[in-house]
């Protein structure tokens, strides 16, 4: 939730800054036009009035900056929290050898555990017997999970 709020805050700040930068660019262009017209003797009242009107519009735009956000609503029925062990298996005397990496990436459901053992993904049963090994030629996996909705890891 905190990460989502930070992402939204960052996005809003970027949008606000982009808006302000655009308006500042417009003001700078108008300022340059005013300086050029001041140098030219035949600057008409119409030119200066047009520039003044443009500056007034930009100032109004900047003064009217308001961001209206509705709260992010999350359907609580979509999130299922279970207070259970990460691995719903009974304790085992078996061990599996993992790589020398500082952590192991794994996920489980009621029947299987999926473990990243470089350079493969291993599907293990309840007795920690390897059922299937799939080569994983890509970089490290930072996280995996079981989706009961998709019925997949």
The pTM of the full predicted model, rounded to 2 decimals, is 0.40
Binned at pLDDT 50, 70 and 90, residue 132 comes out as very high
pLDDT tens string 59-117: 787 777 766 666 766 666 666 655 555 555 566 666 777 666 646 677 888 888 888 88
DSSP state of 147: B
Model pLDDT, residue 102 = 45
DSSP state of 150: T
Contact by Cβ (8 Å): 146, 153: yes
Does the pLDDT value for residue 55 go beyond 60? yes
Contact by Cβ (8 Å): 120, 114: no
pLDDT tens string 15-41: 888 888 888 888 888 888 877 776 766
Contact by Cβ (8 Å): 113, 87: yes
């Amino acid at each position: 939730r905190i990460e989502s709020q930070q992402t939204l805050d960052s996005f809003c700040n970027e949008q606000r800054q982009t808006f302000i930068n655009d308006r500042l660019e417009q003001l700078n262009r108008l300022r340059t036009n005013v300086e050029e017209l001041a140098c030219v003797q035949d600057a008409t009242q119409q030119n200066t009035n047009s520039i003044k009107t443009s500056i007034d519009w930009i100032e109004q735009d900047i003064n009217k900056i308001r961001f209206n956000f509705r709260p992010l609503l999350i359907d609580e029925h979509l999130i299922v929290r279970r207070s259970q062990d990460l691995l719903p298996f009974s304790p085992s005397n078996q061990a599996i050898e993992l790589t020398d990496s500082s952590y192991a990436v794994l996920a489980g459901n009621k029947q299987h555990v999926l473990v990243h053992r470089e350079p493969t993904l291993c599907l293990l049963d309840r007795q920690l017997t390897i059922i299937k090994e799939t080569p994983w030629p890509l970089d490290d996996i930072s996280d995996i999970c079981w989706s009961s909705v998709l019925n997949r890891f």
